[in-house]
Amino acid sequence: MKLGPQIREFHPTPPVTPTQQNVNIKPKPRGDSLTRSSMHEDNNACDEPTGLPMVSTSGCSTIPPAPNQNRPARATYQHYNTQHYHRSKTTLISRTNVNLIRKATSSPYYWACDMNSSALTHSCTHASNTRHMKILPLFVLLAIPLAPISTSHAADGAAETARNRYLVLDSRIIASTENAKLATGTVTKHPANPLFTEDKPWEKRFDNLYGNVIFDHEAQIYKCWYSPFIVDHSSRGMTRGQRDAKRYRPPSNREMGICYATSKDGIVWTKPSLGLVDFEGTTANNIIWRGPHGAGITKDSHESNSARRYKMLMQGVSTSYSADGLHWSKPRKLSGLGKVAGDTHNNLFWNRQTRHYVGITRTWGPLGRQVTRIQSSDFKNWQNTGVILAATQKPLQPYSMPVFFHGGVYLGLVAIHAQRPVDRVWTELAWSPDSKTWNRIAPGEPLIPCSERVLDYDYGCVYACAYPIFLEDGIRLYYGGSDYYHYGWRTGNLSLATLRPDGFAGYEQLSPDKPAIITTTEIPQSSTTLQISADVQTGGSVVVTILNTDGNPIVNPISIRESVSDTPIELAPNANNGKIKLKIAIERAKVYSFSFGK
């Protein structure tokens, strides 16, 4: 098949190593997912939540930019590879003899170009000052926004009619596939792991950590609430032989507490001395509450009453409010839910589609643990909407599932507990169109796997925190790690795994002998700028053909031969026919998402 214009081969700048990166990274909004630390009313499309997943479909940059926004412009093609994530600022033009232009800069302005097809060079003027640059023949420079596309933290429900980002894991948008399989993404565990450990006298056993991580935009810091057992036996300093020699049994007076930590960059954490709660005769600790189990905590900007800005869902099942996330109201036990145990990491979010608070908790069934959903319109009166995820076999049970909204779907980070004698926990992926009906992606294939080195910091357990943090160049998945078996003697920690943008799951070839082909259903075309995110190996390609609703090509196919994140493909104005289909051929590559730019 003869294709249209090919992407030009570039020599990307070397990826920045983790030790070279400026660590003072602030979350920034990206696409239709927000990593803000609060839930917002939907009277402002840019004013979305964090702790409670909410989404911006307008592409508004409500989150402050990362540091060094005044850095000099760099004429380099920013490239993504499997270890480090850099936003591509490349624009692809889908017309004959129109190819790739590259320019990376932090400037909020545009390049305006006088284009003459017969000239060997074109004159381009920057909106803020005048420059001239030489461009190779047959290249065209359109108005390319040079400001970074931002990201954010787990955000929840925008109206489906306003959807702009499409993750290909959403089976509703896939009409057909050939030689294609949907595979989970590949995480990179941070070299600084573990980020913090059981190093305080009251941190006897992190157990599953039950971490809740947000970036608070008002305070400009990361916040983490976690729940260690503060009265328990400690495994610190124990050898493997000592752990195996005696079975771990919790004490009769075992007690959990909620602790609090902060960070400027999400990597180096501080456990502040709060002076709030007595532990063994002193309040010089970071405990905010003794007693609650499995607390899910978030900051709710949807709430008009500042005294109830922070919300908590805990075992009981009970709720609580707080103005500052540190001083909490007396727990209110929920009634009318039936047999909901809540003995897990409970988590919650505001569903803007249905205008309900949604709680994800746990009950028990014939095959063991089950993930259960509850909802409320006012955070006072709740109803049990039923089990949403259950084990298909007793040896593998869903232990917990933090839920968030991104790219038009709800995503769940499912902790799978392999029962004894395996007794280990890893995190898998599930998705839902409405937070009620769930689909597991590649069951048995971890999104965040355990280490295979015995007594490594996450050899035994990996429990994802609520909620992911979405940055411009990647996704942060914080998790509670443990170094040994779930029911055994184990020490715990907070750790971090990262994904490339939109890299939760993607389509790749089933057999290497021929391309994988996926064809979408009819998609509302909201602009003439189509954006693609994919990993492309050396010698591989992603070929995108844009079809009308009759299945006929609108423009020449576009061939992408390097890894890209939201790389714009400019369509001719007459290509905007209301709805389109995409036919994507994949060779030695993996496609994650597509979206429409402004």
What tens digit of pLDDT does each residue of 304-337 get?
A: 999 999 999 999 999 999 999 999 999 999 999 9
Most confident of 2-11, 14-23, 351-360: 351-360
CA 471, 297, 374, 256 torsion-angle sign: positive
CB-based contact 363:370 (threshold 8 Å): yes
Q: What is the structure's pLDDT at 302? A: 86
pLDDT-derived band at 26, boundaries 50, 70, 90: low
Print burial letters for 113-143: b (CB count within 10 Å at least 16), e (below 16).
beeeeeeeebbbebeeeeeeeebeeebbbbe
Query: DSSP 3-state assignment of 573?
Result: helix
Q: What is the structure's pLDDT at 576? A: 60
Most confident of 252-261, 348-357, 553-562: 252-261
Cβ burial, residue 531 (10 Å; 0-12/13-18/19+): buried
Compute the distance between CA of residue 473 and CA of residue 34 in angstroms, rounded to an integer. 14
Does residue 271 carry a pLDDT above 90? yes
Residues 533-539 have a mean pLDDT of 97
The better pLDDT of the pair 114, 202 is held by 202
| Model pLDDT for residues 150-176, shown as the tens digit of each residue | 333 343 443 334 689 999 999 999 999
Q: What is the structure's pLDDT at 574? A: 61
Q: How far is CA 267 from the centre of its chain?
A: 17
Start-end of H helices in 423-499: none
Q: What percent of the chain has pLDDT over 90?
A: 67
Strands (E), 500-597: 505-509, 516-520, 523-524, 529-547, 558-560, 564-570, 579-596
Residues 258-286 have a mean pLDDT of 98
In order of 314, 441, 568, the CA distances from 156 in angstroms are: 21, 20, 25
Q: What percent of the chain has pLDDT over 70?
A: 72
Query: DSSP 3-state assignment of 593?
Result: strand
Residues 121-127 have a mean pLDDT of 31
Candidate from 135-139, 459-463, 591-595 with smallest mean pLDDT: 135-139
Q: What is the structure's pLDDT at 571? A: 79
Does residue 225 carry a pLDDT above 90? yes
Does residue 475 carry a pLDDT above 50? yes
Q: What is the structure's pLDDT at 9? A: 32
